[in-house]
Chains A and B, each alone.
Chain A
Amino acid sequence: MLHSKTFVKKTRGGKVNKQVREHYLRDDIYCGAPICKVCDSSAARLSPSASTILIVDTNVVLHQIDLLENPAIDDVVMLSIVLEEVKNKNMAVYNRVRALCSNSMRRFFVFANEHHKDTFVKEMNKESKNDRNDRAIRVAAQWYQNHLGGAARVLLITNDRENKRKAIEEGISAETIESYVKSLDQPNLLDLLVQPASEDVNMEEVEDLRPSKRKVIYAEHKPMSEITSGLHRGIYHQGKLRVNRYNPFEAYVGSESIGDEIIIYGRANMNRAFDGDIVAVELLPQDQWYEEKSLSIADEEDGEEDVHLVPNSADDAPRTTNVVQGSAGDAKIMSSRPSGFVVGIIKRNWHAYCGSLEPMPLPAGSGGTAHALFVSKDRRIPKIRIQTRQLENLLDKRIIVVVDSWDHLSRYPSGHYVRTIGEIGDRDTESEVVLIENDINSRPFSSQVLACLPSLPWSVSSEDLANPIRQDLRHLRVFSVDPPGCKDIDDALHCITLPNGNFEVGVHIADVTNFVLPGTPLDDEATQRGTSVYLVERRIDMLPKPLTEDICSLRADVERLAFSVIWEMTSEAEIISKRYTKSVIKSSAAMSYIEAQARMDDSRLMDPLTTDLRNMNTLAKIMRLKRIERGALTLASAEVKFQIDTETHDPLDIGMYQIREANQMVEEFMLAANVSVAEKILKHFPVISLLRRHPSPTREMLEPLLRTAAAVGLNLDVSSSKALADSLDHAVGDDPYFNKLIRILATRCMTQAVYFCSGDLSPQEYHHYGLAAPLYTHFTSPIRRYADVIVHRLLAASLEIQKLPSIFQDQPQLTSIADNLNYRHRNAQMASRASVELHTLIYFRKRPTDTEARIVKIRANGFIVFVPKYGIEGPVHLAPRSEKGSGEWFVDEQQQKIKKMDGSLSFSVLQTIRIHMEVVEPQPNRPKLQLTLI
């Protein structure tokens, strides 16, 4: 264990102030080739039959990672100096290389050349760092060559001309990546290659026929040193660029130095920045703040809005700066918001994008290289130019493309093809696109994860029953109420009338943390997945099926482990006492909402279960009333439900999700349990509790709601959630749907609730606006949400029945877990929505329909309508798009009306109209749902 004598200690200086670090060189670093007779080959990763061993340089890894990920490239030695350089330059690529190196299916071996006594090189006088590193790579390649003798060819892959020349001089075989890939004789691999910059000229062909071909389209980015000093002097502002999901020509940079969002209008001002890039922005002079706006609309070429699902929150909804143009009052509103332009990109957020090629005629001589434009499904991403040798194959496919570079002389970024997902419009392909786009891991669970599961068939053991921390509640009449067909039942209830007239009400939650132990592969996987994802035709589980559908699921008539919250309540639903315990329960009935509702409604039924249901329902109604009195918002969403053909998985019917009293009853007790648990864990762990908050909407966010309401003569008070709730209650129009419509409009103005770590915020910020609760968390669905798993552990620790895992000692890590949960949660929702949208499209493909719709927003050339029956909204055009904003239609911004110039026709917001819905294909393979006025 002591350092061995063979280590030679070397020190190296560096940087401005001298830093001395020890650097140990070792003789126990092995080559990783099983054919080697000298080295310990127990950790060897290269294949025993490898004829060629590749050594790649840093730039090859950085630029050709997609190629390296292709199984055709194998037996690669990754030098530690290369990894180090990659890590410094691009963390995302580094993580991908690391994944390759640890993938047991691939033969990538990491050779710690920097710590090997024979391959470490000292910096020479006047040698630059890059040159030194290149030399280190060559020395390592030479070492391999000598070490393996003739057993295998060692090939250095480098695109650096100088490096290659020196290597060949030193007797190392070296090739460029292009020539190596060509020698493999697999034409498909060539598409994965990133084209070197010298070929850029050729790629210009795909540009549209502009008079001057190489004209400067974007301003050059400022050099990093200038950006740094500009940021320092306050001329530039740094922030993450967010492109408007509904208008890709508009972006926002949240800047801390200004304390406000800076708006960037138009591609020219965005200056090649992608969504998520960290950019440096310079503000425009104030008098130009509005002018840019009209420019952006002029620039708009494909800003067509598609039919989409009704947004459930402000995060889903289009940004509201998109005001109707042409009205005079706007200039002032606009000029209050700073606008600017991007001067440089500090950190790129480039990754792989899903989409398809823009339809184009096949070039005459097929088989050759073609240039094509790739259109991402994510509308925030600009078109990407790619080169392909298989154009014919790709035109009707969904493909994945990554960006390589974006020159200021070219209109579009250039990238390369990575892989094909499947045919456009095919349900499975499109579903996969939804998953990839939302970064959802749908791979089967690994064997290490599955190894953490208890063996099946599982049942409650005598140890579980004897465990002093676990209370035996099998005698209680526990039941569950869930959506029909629900297999992952994570909550159950019971209710007893006590002799004193009070009620004992219990909420029993599946004891997932009894099976998912901290630090296990199972736990790590669940942390990463964060939540189960519900698509229309399938569910992607956070935990493996044996847990979700069997061991943890609180099914009827089997004994299950639970974590219980038990209250004593008065008949006025006043909580007198609370207690929390791990338990063993045996559910007596697993009912669907419909069943439970039917029981309660059937006055002939007087059995104990039905009585329990009725008692609980009475309590829930009181609780709900109290909650609403406190100011909780009853918001409305337009959730739809599909009936899916079991054979073809195609949607058969579509309709609004019906909410029954039974749903509300269960929901009420879950809310109460979550609140009680939040109070308990925060009391014990003031800085490391995981809570959920819902920020109050700002007045600005509610602006569209107020404007619409004002147009129909409704005055909403938004001073507090209570005031808003009251005025929503009073918003009753002459038609029955009016109130729900207003609520739907209100819902989309709110942001979503988020998870956070209690130590990161002050207690006033813990507030949950929508529920009007000072504290809230998630406790009741540990089978499908990881947040609940964390909260279960916190609750168990607060009861001192289990130790808190070590992760809780690390607040920054807890914060990053909360951030990941928010990200996963959001993506899961987006995926669900996208899946519903996809199925809506499939459904209407064969069923053109006439239906009723409500106008929710007036546009210059028409309006946006909401179709209540199908929960979708989309544009209805009154005039052809080419005549947009001009011609015979006139918009009255104040009253939210659009009128025909001659006054013969007029439409106003919230008006009911009849529309025709039909799937059209304006371009081949690009079906979309079109709404037209009847």
Chain B
Amino acid sequence: MEYVNPEGLRLDGRRPMEMRQIRAEIGSVAKADGSALFEMGNTKVIAAVYGPREVQNRSQQISDKALVRCEYSMANFSTGDRMRKPKGDRRSTEISLVIRQTMEACIMTHLMPRSQIDIFVQVLQADGGTRSACINAATLALADAGIPLRDLVTSCSAGYLNSTPLLDLNYVEDSAGGPDVTVGFLPKLDKVTLLQMDSKLSIDLFENVMQLAIEGCKAVANYIREILLENTKQLEYRRGL
């Protein structure tokens, strides 16, 4: 299968190093303390954050830092005709864990001891790269909730098909079964906080692909910063400042 044609275009018309169109919206869930909608191409994810608030289950309370919980789910309609997996399957449990660990690493939990932060992410439409979209959405929602963060953690994936590193795989490219690297990245601190890979890749190629994913993360971070800035400006405006 030809995923990149000799003219250097991918199936959807992107070049190998290009990301899909990204779009974000803050405050989609009014009831939550913070929320955001994040789109990477046709992948659409919504995140809502509650907290910091009192720990619901006292036994889980941690005396010197906040408890971070995360629940990931896929809307039943998110994949169209593809088989729906029951809630709480291994894949969702794993992704919940991945998101929780990634977010926990950038939340300044020590500032909020004995409290709890809940992150809910739901995939509304899946077209590859859901993991990355979830992390990006969660970051925006956390920022919207005003939770102190070390840095804005962002995520992007990159793969390797037809001997070409490709940024931000969509569902078709993802289904090719080639190597697929997902990176979570702290752009200010220049640190990788999440690194996952499917399939195998030789070490030098891997470095290329990972570097590409990091570039993707940086681009997402720039965009998220713009969105937040825009949002802040609007808040200022509403306050009449």
A22-B202 in contact given A1-B215, A1-B219 (Cβ < 8 Å): no
B interface footprint on A19-37 (CB within 8 Å = 1, 0 otherwise): 1111111100000000000
A interface footprint on B33-48 (CB within 8 Å = 1, 0 otherwise): 0000000011000000
Say whether B172 contacts A18, CB under 8 Å: no
Q: Contact check: which of B14, B17, B222 meets A24 at CB < 8 Å?
A: B14
Say whether A3 contacts B20, CB under 8 Å: yes
A11 close to B (CB within 8 Å): yes
| Chain B residue at smallest Cβ distance from A9 | B21
Contacts of B127 in A (CB 8 A): 20, 22
Contacts of B17 in A (CB 8 A): 1
A26-B13 in contact given A1-B219, A3-B20 (Cβ < 8 Å): yes
A11-B18 in contact given A101-B6, A803-B202 (Cβ < 8 Å): no
CB distance from A835 to the nearest CB of B (A): 37
| Chain B residue at smallest Cβ distance from A84 | B5
Q: Contact check: which of B5, B18, B201, B202 meets A1 at CB < 8 Å?
A: B18
A633 close to B (CB within 8 Å): no
Q: Name the segment of A108-116, A208-216, A228-236 touching the other chain.
A: A108-116
Q: Which of B165-184 contact A (CB under 8 A)?
A: 167, 170, 172
B81 close to A (CB within 8 Å): yes
B interface footprint on A727-749 (CB within 8 Å = 1, 0 otherwise): 00000000000000000000000
Say whether A7 contacts B202, CB under 8 Å: no
A393 close to B (CB within 8 Å): no
Say whether B219 contacts A2, CB under 8 Å: yes
Q: Contact check: which of B5, B42, B201 meets A11 at CB < 8 Å?
A: B42
Contacts of A2 in B (CB 8 A): 18-19, 219, 222-223
Contacts of A3 in B (CB 8 A): 14, 18-22
Say whether B202 contacts A806, CB under 8 Å: yes
A interface footprint on B93-132 (CB within 8 Å = 1, 0 otherwise): 0000000000000000000000000000000000100000
A809-B202 Cα distance, complex, nearest whole Å? 9
Number of A-B contacts (CB under 8 A): 71
Q: Contact check: which of B5, B205, B219 meets A806 at CB < 8 Å?
A: B205
Contacts of A22 in B (CB 8 A): 12-13, 20-21, 41-42, 127, 170
Say whether B9 contacts A23, CB under 8 Å: no
Say whether B42 contacts A20, CB under 8 Å: yes
| Chain A residue at smallest Cβ distance from B223 | A2
A80-B42 Cα distance, complex, nearest whole Å? 24
A9-B12 Cα distance, complex, nearest whole Å? 10
CB distance from A98 to the nearest CB of B (A): 7
A17 close to B (CB within 8 Å): yes
B240 close to A (CB within 8 Å): no
Say whether B80 contacts A21, CB under 8 Å: no
A102 close to B (CB within 8 Å): yes
A24-B6 in contact given A1-B18, A806-B202 (Cβ < 8 Å): no
Contacts of B13 in A (CB 8 A): 22-26, 112, 114-115
A115-B9 in contact given A7-B21, A24-B14 (Cβ < 8 Å): yes
**Residue among B5, B19, B205, B219 facing the most chain A CB atoms (10 A cut-off):** B5
A interface footprint on B203-237 (CB within 8 Å = 1, 0 otherwise): 00100000000010001001100000000000000
A80-B219 in contact given A2-B18, A3-B19, A23-B13 (Cβ < 8 Å): no
B7 close to A (CB within 8 Å): yes
Say whether B6 contacts A21, CB under 8 Å: no
CB distance from A13 to the nearest CB of B (A): 11
Q: Which of A1-60 contact B (CB under 8 A)?
A: 1-3, 7, 9, 11, 17-26
A24-B148 Cα distance, complex, nearest whole Å? 37
Say whether B80 contacts A112, CB under 8 Å: no
**Residue among A11, A22, A24, A809 facing the most chain B CB atoms (10 A cut-off):** A22
A112-B11 Cα distance, complex, nearest whole Å? 11
Contacts of B20 in A (CB 8 A): 3, 22
CB distance from B119 to the nearest CB of A (A): 26
Say whether B219 contacts A110, CB under 8 Å: no
Contacts of B5 in A (CB 8 A): 80, 110, 112
Q: Contact check: which of A18, A26, A98, A809 meets B6 at CB < 8 Å?
A: A98
A19-B41 Cα distance, complex, nearest whole Å? 14
Q: Contact check: which of B11, B80, B167, B219 meets A17 at CB < 8 Å?
A: B80
Q: Contact check: which of B22, B172, B202, B223 meets A21 at CB < 8 Å?
A: B172
A80-B7 Cα distance, complex, nearest whole Å? 10
Q: Contact check: which of A1, A24, A102, A806 meets B12 at CB < 8 Å?
A: A24
B239 close to A (CB within 8 Å): no
CB distance from B179 to the nearest CB of A (A): 9
B200 close to A (CB within 8 Å): yes
A64-B205 Cα distance, complex, nearest whole Å? 42
Q: Which of A85-113 contact B (CB under 8 A)?
A: 98, 101-102, 110, 112
Say whether A110 contacts B19, CB under 8 Å: no
| Chain B residue at smallest Cβ distance from A87 | B2
Say whether B172 contacts A110, CB under 8 Å: no
Q: Contact check: which of A11, A17, A26 meets B81 at CB < 8 Å?
A: A17
Say whether A18 contacts B80, CB under 8 Å: yes
A161-B20 Cα distance, complex, nearest whole Å? 41
| Chain A residue at smallest Cβ distance from B12 | A22
A20-B172 Cα distance, complex, nearest whole Å? 11
**Residue among B19, B21, B22, B219 facing the most chain A CB atoms (10 A cut-off):** B21
Say whether B21 contacts A112, CB under 8 Å: no
A9-B14 Cα distance, complex, nearest whole Å? 11
**Residue among B14, B17, B215 facing the most chain A CB atoms (10 A cut-off):** B14
Contacts of A17 in B (CB 8 A): 80-81
Say whether A112 contacts B42, CB under 8 Å: no
A98-B18 Cα distance, complex, nearest whole Å? 25
CB distance from A815 to the nearest CB of B (A): 16
A102-B215 Cα distance, complex, nearest whole Å? 31
A22-B42 Cα distance, complex, nearest whole Å? 7
Contacts of B172 in A (CB 8 A): 21
Contacts of B201 in A (CB 8 A): 806
Say whether A110 contacts B81, CB under 8 Å: no
CB distance from A84 to the nearest CB of B (A): 9
Contacts of A19 in B (CB 8 A): 80
A219-B100 Cα distance, complex, nearest whole Å? 67
| Chain B residue at smallest Cβ distance from A17 | B81
A18-B167 Cα distance, complex, nearest whole Å? 26
B interface footprint on A783-817 (CB within 8 Å = 1, 0 otherwise): 00000000000000000000100100100000000
A2-B6 Cα distance, complex, nearest whole Å? 21
A7-B13 Cα distance, complex, nearest whole Å? 10
| Chain B residue at smallest Cβ distance from A806 | B202
Contacts of A21 in B (CB 8 A): 11-12, 42, 170, 172
CB distance from B15 to the nearest CB of A (A): 9
Say whether B200 contacts A809, CB under 8 Å: yes
Contacts of A7 in B (CB 8 A): 21
A115-B13 Cα distance, complex, nearest whole Å? 6
Contacts of A25 in B (CB 8 A): 13
Q: Contact check: which of B7, B22, B170, B202 meets A112 at CB < 8 Å?
A: B7
Contacts of B167 in A (CB 8 A): 1
A80-B5 Cα distance, complex, nearest whole Å? 10
A422-B20 Cα distance, complex, nearest whole Å? 56
| Chain B residue at smallest Cβ distance from A16 | B81
CB distance from A841 to the nearest CB of B (A): 45
Can you list 19 A-B pairs, Cβ within 8 angstroms, ordered by A? A1-B215, A9-B21, A11-B42, A18-B80, A18-B81, A20-B127, A21-B11, A21-B12, A21-B42, A22-B42, A22-B127, A24-B21, A25-B13, A80-B7, A80-B9, A98-B6, A101-B6, A112-B7, A806-B205
Q: Across chains A and B, which 7 residue pairs bring their CB atoms closest together, nearest first?
A: A24-B13, A115-B13, A17-B81, A2-B219, A22-B12, A1-B17, A22-B41
- Beyond A3-B21, A110-B6, list 19 extra A-B contacts (CB 8 Å): A1-B18, A1-B19, A9-B21, A19-B80, A20-B127, A21-B12, A21-B170, A22-B20, A22-B21, A22-B42, A24-B12, A24-B14, A24-B21, A80-B9, A98-B6, A101-B6, A115-B9, A806-B201, A806-B202
B interface residues with partner A (beta carbon < 8 Å): 5-7, 9, 11-14, 17-22, 41-42, 80-81, 127, 167, 170, 172, 200-202, 205, 215, 219, 222-223
